[in-house]
Structure 1
Amino acid sequence: MTAAAPPPLGLAVIGHVNHGKTALVRALTGMETDRLPEEKTRGLSIALGFAFREDPAGDIDFLDAPGHEDFIRAMVMGAAGARAVLLVVSGVEGFGRQTREHLRIAGLLGLRDGLVAVTKADLVSPQARDDLRVQLAAELSGSFLAPAPIVFCSAVTGEGLKALGREISALALRTPPPEPLPGVFLPLDRVFSLAGTGTVVTGSLQGADLQAGTEAVLEPSGRRVHLRQLQVHGQAVAAARAGGRVAAALRGVAPEEVRVGDVLCTTGAFPSSQRIDAELELTPDAARPLRSGDEVRVLWGARQDLARVRLIGASALEPGGSGLAQLRFASPVPVHAGQRLLLRRPSPAATLGGGRVLDPVAPVLRSRTLEARRELLAVASEGRLEPIAEALARRDGGAVSATEAARLSRRPAEEVRSRLARTFVRLDEDLFAPESAVQSAMQAYLDRLGEAHHAHPMRAFVALGALRGGLSRTLSRELIVHVEGRLADSGEIRIERGQAALKGHDPFATLSPDQRARLGEIESTCREGGMTPPDASVLAGDADSAALLGLLVESGRLVSLRNHALRQTLVFHRDALDAALRDLKAAFPPPAEFTTGEARAALSTSRKFIVPVLEFLDARGDTVRRGDLRQVLHPRNRFGPEPVPH
């Protein structure tokens, strides 16, 4: 079997203006990255440039970032699409102000490996090179490039270019592969139109590989598009590898409907939001602390946005410090969990620090849930699924949303559902619960039911709505329903007519002799009343009698009916209602039909009682109503009219 080709390496080429970045890339690749007329006229890069070099260790995509401080956004755009950096330092001028700024920004954006190329080496004497190495070591000390190889080279004479090429190959081999994401994520850094092709977009591909001929969505607009064609390094391809540059021809959208900074992504995988939760770090030389309410400019991917800061768990973030915060935007932004960001002061422009997105679709922060939110974000910063799921279960009453767990852990939702199903209990298509949470919920349900029986021993059942409502203060409703079903299946509880009881609960066993005697009196009075039962309010004249009457109704010996027209509750004995059905069947043998008045006369009762009785028989399936007429149904045909014989 042929081994898969290594993934392409995005290499951000950074450094001070006029230190020879573009000339070095041209010498390494034979390609010109300055493509704008103004760049060629001024000899100054003002936009992100692109070139590539084929390499056995994987194709190298050079992202040539402008060195001038006015074009920090373009530099961030290049670094955001890279997995390593090539820091370019002029051998003549040494470290410049933007060299330091670019190096710091690259570190804030999460880059952790790279090389240092000292250009214009043909103008540097051997003695000066030794001094320069010492200076570079001091400048790089404490940065992620402190251990990086330093290569002296010249784009003019070709000195050091082969050595630099070998170091780039070694860098490609040791750089970790692109971070997996739950789908395609392509921040767009160029949008244009080509005759015969239509709308074309380009970017550095992240997440999953991109397939030609598929559907995708543009965020934050939500517009669906079809990928007509893909190109990598100017060649049409069926699929583009994550980690490299790609150009995509889109069907279904005009160029003016797409903006630089939009994201082409897998449908439903990266919804846009006006709130994101992130962990932030301020640079030690930040001019002042960061406080809630401050406005910041956020640079990430190929876009920049203004946001208001709401710190989580702190009143201020001091220079050199780190902490959690929510960033709030005027309009939705498309980002993914784990995405790096740069914070800048809007005016005067200056870098404040950086950060990493923890939740790209964050909820509104509330004081009462702030501690749970802080706990969840602390776990999410590690990106491990199981701890995230456990934290979600603690926050949400034992239930875990697979969709949210996937978003926070940066994994595809189907993978998360599959993994959770191995050790968690499935509540529905998207919700799971740890077995420990299920066991705790079952015990809580039994305890709650036992407390209700203790408080009202003469009640045979407890309404499910009351049980669920009380438990829902601490437990997920889906988890409550799940454990309710488990307990019923195991026989630990009984459920009848929307009510529940413990299997051993017998309210009749708790009655005193006097209560038993009074219970018998109430039942006998209702039985003897037949179709003209006594007034329920008289039967329930005191609290004890009312409880006993309720017990008889709950046990099914008595039936409580409602006369809605008179707004009265009537209580019949079950035997009386069964006798009424027999009398109606005798008076009006099926298929004979009868009116309400005829039924009232047959049962020797009044309209006050006959209407709720007939409605009860209809609901029970003993009779069926058609307009003003009713018919008694045969037992075998209680769910519809009798079949017509042929």
Structure 2
Amino acid sequence: MGAEAAGPPLSVAVIGHVNHGKTALVRALTGIETDRLAEEKARGLSITLGFAWRDYPSGTVDFLDAPGHEDFIRAMVMGTTGARAALLVVSATEGFGPQTREHLRVAQLLGLQAGIVAVTKADLLAEDAEAAIGAHIAAELDGSFLAGEPVVFCSALTGVGMDGLNDAVEALIKRSPAPAHAPGPILPVDRTFTVAGSGTVVTGTLQGGPLPADGAAVLMPSGKSVTLRQLQVHGQTVEAAAPGGRLAVALRGVSVDEAAPGEVLCAPESLAPSLLVDIELTLSPDSARPLKSGDELRVMWGARQDMAKVRVLDDGPLAPGGRGLAQLRIATPVAVFAGQRAILRRPSPAETIGGALVLDPVAPRLRGPVGARRDLLAAAAAGDLARIADQLAARDGGVLSMREAARLWRATADEARLALVGFEMLGPDLAAAPGAVTATRQAYLTRLAEAHLNMPTRAWAQIRAIRETFKRTTSVDLLDGVERRLVAEGEIRMSGGQVRLASHDPLAALSPDALARLRELEAQVRQGGAAPPDIGALARPGSEDAALVELLVDLGALIVLRNHALRQTLVFHITALDDALTNLRATFPPPTEFATGAARAALSTSRKFIVPILEFLDARGDTVRDGDVRRIV
């Protein structure tokens, strides 16, 4: 294949009013004609997004020639998405037009921070007109991201000022901000076509991270897995493409219809389809009316547009010129990422009303009060990881998902893990808030001690009962981690849904008479061997014998078994069951098989007892049943 991709290219959105000379200027800069369609050439205006490039000493610049006519605002948004700078084209003879202002507003709403102003058709100016036009342009730019940026008077026809414009572009390469964060390589598909020998080809401006030619990929939100056949940058095959520039990708395993514009080519699991997206929105001061919950909007992001209903999370409607938090409910699934910018338009009458910054691309459905959610999103909008982590931990009972915190912080999970000081990892993704493990550990030991104090003669407490006391305050994952730690430290014992302090001794709570009676009951059951007495008959009426038997069961000295056929509950001493196994092994040494009757005779007991005994040995793994016979393991 061809050469490796160089450093990140610079994508520059070429914007401005219709017929102000954008396409001619790009042609003069690059030698490339961006109007490809016959209709564009016949009408003398751009309809679709055009692409051209030029190599400068400091790097490559991709020029994205956006249509200037108001009917093609979607193509303009598509071209500006992924760009890191703007080249605003203003006609020297006409000045600012309506689309100049809208393009400038859209570029600012999409987060552009650097650029150049090219004043075209300068060859038509009188010698003394330049200063006045420059002052007019500066006034129009006041308050925008292009205020104070270079203004170059030039002519694509005569070449006047083109050297100065190229010098300004060279400087722009060095001072433009780095590509914005995205979760891996992200390619919003803006064109799809077929090429003989290559199959389906998609193009777009690559964002996020580098895309290797041998990487796995998927189209979202459809979820269609694809194989990358070839990558091309400016007609040259590359092994990897750097983010920030234009890219063409030949795909295997997908048709043109399945890879339609609006799909996003990305690494598996980097994006997820969603119908709910939380945003920070900025409403234009020129909006005709406030934005209220339930309003329908057209959302333009990446290379797609979607209809959505908005829920404003602040109190009351958002006034023109205001900024607030909101949730978008999208009509069909979308795949976007935190930090992605969007343009918001009203469908009727059509107007650009503002912009949005995606805060959570896979937002939960909002029910009830939204105060806590609003606080979390405010922390995300501010880029405050500590506040994000605290809000998540408060919401989720002391723990947080590192992936969720990183998504809201617009970084990787590893970066979030390094930045969060004091959080304790409970697993690959789960972290506990500072002090949460220590506090929960102490609370668990205290509540278990209280359970023993309330029932001192019980050896165990029910795990479910202990956990129920944490239900409203503490995450199940945090409890799991604390229990594992307490077991490992030897502080508690856990068995069969029960838990106890390792230091708990229920016998110490018995009076001398009760302890003597306990030993008496245990001896009576043990003496019965494989045919124990009825435990109910042994208990004295009105005594605490039943509680003492429960304690012996808790301690594992007595085993409660069930004869299901006779619907009887039987109580054996553990030594009787161990002795039964010893006798059976001596009588039927492995691999000798034996039937139930033979076992009954060997143990000198009745069917009432032999069936529960054998079922117990089966369950403990001492014997294996095969039909009507068994054998010792």
TM-score of the pair, normalised by structure 1: 0.90
Deviations 1:466-524 (Å, cap 9, x if unpaired)?
Answer: 43454354333333222212112222212344422112222222234554455345434
Aligned-partner residue type, residue 609 of structure 1: F
1:554 matched to 2:554? The reply is: yes
Report how far residue 278 of structure 1 moved. Answer: 1.4
Matched, 1:610 2:610: yes
Distance in 2, matches of 1:444 and 1:374, equals 31
Q: Which moved more, 1:38-47 or 1:574-583?
A: 574-583
Question: What is the CA–CA distance in structure 1 between the aligned matches of 2:513 and 2:309, rounded to whole Å?
Answer: 71
Amino acid at match of 2:597: G
What does residue 14 of structure 1 align with?
15
- Measured at CA, do residues 351 and 572 of structure 1 come closer, stay the same or move farther in structure 2, by a change above 3 Å? same
Give the aligned residue type for 1:121. Answer: A
Deviation at 1:551, TM superposition (A): 1.5
Q: CA deviation at 1:59?
A: 0.9
Counterparts of 2:523 and 2:130, CA distance in 1: 112
Cα deviation 1:136-175 (Å, max 9, x = unaligned):
2222111111121212222222222111211111111111
- The residue correspondences of 1:180-579 to structure 2 (distance < 5 A) are 180-367=181-368, 370-383=370-383, 388-413=388-413, 415-416=414-415, 419=418, 424-434=423-433, 436-513=435-512, 515-516=514-515, 518-520=517-519, 522-530=521-529, 531-536=531-536, 539=539, 544-579=544-579
Distance 1:579 1:275, change over 3 A: same
Indicate how the Cα distance of structure 1 residues 47 and 581 shifts in structure 2: closer, same or farther if over 3 A, else same: closer
* Per-residue deviation, residues 34-59 of structure 1 (Å, max 9, x unmatched): 11111100001111111112112221
Instruction: Give the distance between the partners of 1:603 and 1:34, measured in 2 at CA.
Output: 98
Whole-Å separation in 2 of the counterparts to 1:583 and 1:532: 17
Alpha-carbon offset, residue 367 of structure 1: 2.6
Contact 2:526/2:532 (8 A) holds in 1: no
**CA RMSD, 1 decimal:** 2.8
Alignment partners' CA distance in 2, 1:579 and 1:458: 28
- Name the SS of the counterpart of 1:99 in structure 2: helix
Give distance in 2, aligned partners of 1:583 and 1:8. 83
Question: Which is worse superposed, 545-554 or 87-96?
Answer: 545-554
Distance in 1 between the 2:566 and 2:475 partners? 41
Contact 2:402-2:417 at 8 Å conserved across structures: no
Displacement of 1:184: 1.0
Q: SS at 2:147's partner residue?
A: coil
Counterpart contact for 1:271–1:361, Cα < 8 Å: yes
Structure 2 CA distance, aligned partners of 1:282 and 1:470?
47
User: Where does residue 54 of structure 2 map in the other structure?
Assistant: 53
Displacement after TM superposition at 1:243 (Å): 0.3
CA contact (8 A) 1:230 1:247 kept: yes
1-side partners of 2:35 and 2:83: how far apart? 19
Q: Which amino acid aligns with 1:55?
A: Y
Letter in 2 for 1:507: P
Judge conservation of contact 2:86–2:116 (CA < 8 Å) in 1. Answer: yes
In the aligned structure 2, how far is the partner of 1:489 from the partner of 1:185?
44
Distance 2:541 2:114 in 1: 85
Distance 1:9 1:574, change over 3 A: same
Provide closer, same or farther for how the CA distance between residues 584 and 54 of structure 1 changes in structure 2, counting only shifts above 3 A.
Answer: closer
| Residue identity opposite 1:235 in structure 2 | Q
Amino acid in the other structure paired with 2:533: P
Q: Which runs of 5+ in 1 are unaligned?
A: 634-639, 641-646
CA distance in 2, matches of 1:540, 1:441: 43
CA contact (8 A) 2:461 2:498 kept: yes
The secondary structure found in structure 1 opposite 2:321 is coil
Aligned-pair CA distance for 1:71: 0.8
Report what 1:132 is aligned to.
133
Determine what percentage of the aligned residue pairs are the same residue.
61
CA–CA distance in structure 2, aligned partners of residues 253 and 588 of structure 1: 67
* Cα separation, 2, equivalents of 1:244 and 1:542: 88
- Name the count of aligned residue pairs: 628
Query: In structure 2, how many angstroms separate the alpha carbons of the residues matched to 1:291 and 1:113?
Result: 33
Q: Which moved more, 1:108-117 or 1:322-331?
A: 322-331
Maintained 8 Å contact 2:7/2:242? no
Secondary structure of the structure 2 residue equivalent to 1:441: helix
Equivalent pair of 1:457/1:510 in contact (CA under 8 Å): yes
C-alpha displacement at 1:412, in angstroms?
4.3
Over 3 Å counting, the alpha-carbon distance change for 1:575 and 1:257 in structure 2 is closer
Is the CA contact 2:532–2:571 (under 8 Å) kept in the aligned structure 1?
A: no
SS of residue in 1 equivalent to 2:352:
strand
Distance apart, 1:574 and its partner CA: 2.7
Aligned mates of 2:439, 2:357 — CA distance in 1: 35
Which range is displaced more, 7-16 or 446-455? 446-455
| Amino acid paired to 2:458 | R
Partner of 1:636 in structure 2? Answer: none
Relative to structure 1, the CA distance from residue 583 to residue 281 in structure 2 (aligned partners, 3 Å threshold; closer, same or farther) is same
Q: Is the 8 A contact 1:181 1:412 kept in 2?
A: no
SS of aligned partner of 2:393: helix
The alpha-carbon distance between structure 1 residues 507 and 312, as it changes in their structure 2 partners (threshold 3 A), is farther
AA aligned to 1:358 is L
Cα deviation, residue 622, structure 1? 4.1
How far apart are residue 603 of structure 1 and its match? 4.3
How far apart in 1 are the matches of 2:622 and 2:257? Answer: 69
1:120: how far off? 1.7
Change (3 A) 1:236 1:6: closer
Q: What is residue 83 of structure 1 aligned with on the other side? A: 84
1:630 positional shift: 3.5
Can you give the 5+ residue segments of structure 2 that lack an aligned partner in the other structure? none
Distance 1:229 1:623 in 2: 62
User: TM-score normalized by structure 2?
Assistant: 0.91
Kept in 1: contact 2:34–2:51 (CA 8 A): yes
* Map 1:628-639 → 2, pairs under 5 A: 628-631=628-631, 633=632
CA distance in 1, matches of 2:539, 2:290: 74
Q: 1:590 to 1:179 in 2, by over 3 A?
A: closer
SS in 1 for 2:190: strand
Distance in 1, Cα, partners of 2:375 & 2:541 = 55
Corresponding letter in the other structure for 1:50: F
Aligned partner of residue 204 in structure 2, secondary structure = strand
**Matches of 1:450 and 1:167, distance apart in 2:** 75
Q: Shift in Å at residue 288 of structure 1?
A: 2.4
For 1:12 and 1:491, how far apart are their aligned partners in 2? 65
For 1:197 and 1:50, how far apart are their aligned partners in 2? 21
Confirm or deny: 8 A CA contact 1:212 1:230 kept in the other structure. Answer: yes
- Matching of residues 594-605 of structure 1 within 5 Å: 594-605=594-605
Offset at residue 230 of structure 1 (A): 1.9
Preserved CA contact (<8 Å) 2:386 2:420: no
Of the structure 1 ranges 415-424 and 571-580, higher mean CA displacement relative to structure 2 is found in 415-424
Structure 1 CA distance for aligned equivalents of residues 630 and 420 of structure 2 = 52
Q: What are the within-5 Å matches in structure 2 for residues 117-156 of structure 1? A: 117-156=118-157
TM-aligned CA deviation for residue 398 of structure 1: 3.4
Tell me: CA distance 1:539–1:171, structure 2 relative to 1, closer, same or farther (3 Å). farther
Aligned to 2:27: 26
Partner AA of 1:620 in structure 2: R
What secondary structure sits across from 1:440 in the alignment? helix
**Post-superposition shift, 1:410?**
3.5
